[in-house]
Structure 1
Amino acid sequence: MTEKKHENPAHWDETAANYEATAHPFTSQFAEDALARVTLTPGMQVLDVAAGTGALTLAAARSGAYVLATDFSAGMVARIAAAKLPNVDAEVMDGQALHLPDASFDVSFSIFGVIMFPDWRRGLAEMARVTKPGGLGVLATWQSEGAATFLLLSQIRRRLFPRLDGKTRLPEGAVALGDPEWLSAAMVDAGFAAPEIEQVTHDFVLDVSQLDRPETLFGMSPDWVALDAEQQAAVVEEVRLMADGRSVLPVPSTALIAVAGR
């Protein structure tokens, strides 16, 4: 099986700085939504799986709880460690095989992380394994065709090139867990109780000036890679038309936030 770009930690190491500047402020909104659905207190043990640059971790640390952030990208982990928060540790770790004891965390989070795993079922099972009985698992997933530039590109691609295969090329986990029924069933299969699932929507604010370097916006999307140079240029022009002279283009993006007992 050919490794995909999002499955390679070196790719995330290289893009960590750009991710922190662009994706982190966007995902932070959903991290705050997830935190609003649980109560964290000093003395609690919290896990953040596939933490990225720490949108959830840094917000959760405000509660005074101890937070362990894990990610398979050393570049991402270094960004979290740079905050030097006394109640936060950040470690390089594969979320599909956590080197952590059973039942060791009060709350385990994954904000748009497990959905990217090649073996997302194993990722969910690992979250359940390390969560204490009576604790909580909290998962954020994208609904439908993803979010932000992935969603925008999918919509434009379908409009401009309807004869191309219209199926999403998102990771399998992102597709499966983007459906509330599938998400609920998957969490139960992993060892959690039936979750409460809510939809939340925030705008991704696309900086139109970045269209001068479209790879920075769309390069991670398989939908972009599948287009030839002429088609890519047409996508860029379509985004400019949608922006209609504005410096930013809001892209409403909807997530599912699931909270389940252990």
Structure 2
Amino acid sequence: MREFENPNRWDKVAQHYEKTAHPFTARFAEAALATVSLTSHSRVLDVATGTGALAHAAARMGAQVTAVDFSAGMIARVAAAGLPNVDARVMDGQALALPDASFDAVFSIFGVIMFPDWRKGLVEMARVTRPGGYGVIATWQEQGAATFLLLGQIRRTLFPERENMTMPAGVKAMSDPEELAHELVEAGYRAPRIDRVTFDYHLDVGMLDDPEMLFGMSHDWVALSDEEKVAVIAEARRLAGDQAILPIPSTALIGVAER
């Protein structure tokens, strides 16, 4: 099992994720929310919610939100915000324990793309979307984003003979706009629209002191020797130079389609 497929691993990093990744993914969540119109009567589902970047933003807009994730640690962070219109539940996004056609809008912000059976995740999203409702998914382009993108760039610099960074199958399959549109239609949606959105991930260079926390979810970090890991961190520090924050431009595709 890869680290990102292990709920126990996500449980352990939930608080760190909320501090470092949540503010970054929240920017993409807001871009995704801008693709649909929500009201206080809207029923919204956030699949693989993480620490709730999308769920909290939708709730602040007044929507009634159900947020699900397979990690109890992540769900605990969502619930800790105490928003009365957010129902946070531990649930497998590949087999949603939710009725058919029960949501006006179903989102997954960099969640379904990580699933072992990501196509089943998309089908489940479509199943619980009401006719005339919307499904919205955010996915990275093939080289990933944030620390995954930085690690891949450094690996190609230091170890050019190695294979390119190993991304989850869902990311690889949906990293092209036409392919993402195709997969949304295959899942049961129609009339997909795909937008590219880029934001900088701001890497606190001090976090390089704990590289296992930064890179430990990536097989391409785990596969390195101790000596190679030291070289990767040295290269990251070289790239940062005198900066306390290293910006990493990261591009996502946001797909929205009607049920």
**One-letter code of the match for 1:59?**
A
What whole-Å deviation, never above 9, does each CA across 1:173-201 have from its counterpart, x for those lacking one?
11111111111111100000031000000
Structure 1 segment 169-180 matched on structure 2, within 5 A: 169-180=166-177
Give, as a single letter, the amino acid of the residue that structure 2 aligns with 1:110.
S
59, 68, 71: which one pairs with 2:69?
Answer: 71
Pick from 81, 86, 99 the counterpart of residue 97 of structure 2.
Answer: 99
TM-score between the two structures when normalised by the length of structure 1: 0.97
Deviation at 1:53, TM superposition (A): 0.3
Q: How does 1:156-175 map to 2 (within 5 A)?
A: 156-166=154-164, 168-175=165-172
Counterpart Cα distance in 2 of 1:220 and 1:88? 28
Q: Corresponding residue for 1:225?
A: 222
Structure 2 residue corresponding to 1:46, chosen from 41, 44, 47: 44
Say whether the 8 Å CA contact 2:113–2:170 is kept in structure 1: yes
The 4+ residue runs of structure 1 with deviation greater than 4 A are: none
Cα drift, residue 214 of structure 1: 1.1
Match 2:254 to one of 240, 246, 257: 257
C-alpha contact (below 8 Å) 2:14/2:73 kept by paired residues: yes
- The separation in 1 between residues aligned to 2:112 and 2:209, in whole angstroms, is 32
Residues 130-181 of structure 1 deviation map (CA, whole Å, 9 limit, x = unaligned): 0000000000000121000000110110111111122x31111111111111
After TM superposition, the structure 1 stretch with the greater mean CA deviation from structure 2, 176-185 or 131-140, is 176-185
**Equivalent pair of 1:73/1:92 in contact (CA under 8 Å):** yes
Residue 10 of structure 1 aligns with which residue? 8
Q: Is this contact kept in 1: 2:99–2:128, CA < 8 A?
A: yes
Q: Is the 8 A contact 2:95 2:124 kept in 1?
A: yes
Structure 1 stretches of 5 or more lacking a match? none
| Equivalent residue in structure 2 for 1:208, among 191, 195, 205 | 205
Query: What is the 5 A alignment of 1:83-122?
Result: 83-122=81-120
- Measure how far apart 1:54 and its partner are: 0.2
Measure the CA separation in 1 of the matches of 2:16 and 2:57: 20
Between the aligned partners of 2:191 and 2:219, the Cα distance in structure 1 is 33
* CA-CA distance at 1:246 after TM superposition: 0.9
Of all paired residues, the percent bearing the same amino acid is 64
CA contact (8 A) 1:77 1:92 kept: yes
CA contact (8 A) 1:185 1:194 kept: no
Count of aligned residue pairs for this structure pair: 259
Worse overlay, 206-215 or 22-31: 206-215
Residues 102-125 of structure 1: per-residue CA shift (max 9 Å, x gap): 000000000000000000000000
Secondary structure of the equivalent of 1:195? strand
Amino acid in structure 1 at the alignment position of 2:137:
L
Q: How does 1:139-150 map to 2 (within 5 A)?
A: 139-150=137-148
Q: 2-side partners of 1:60 and 1:149: how far apart?
A: 26
Q: What is the root-mean-square deviation of aligned Cα atoms in Å? A: 0.8
Alignment of 1:232-247 (within 5 A): 232-247=229-244
Q: Does 1:57 align with 2:66?
A: no
The C-alpha deviation readout for 1:53-86, integer Å capped at 9, x for no partner, is 0000000001211000000111111111111111
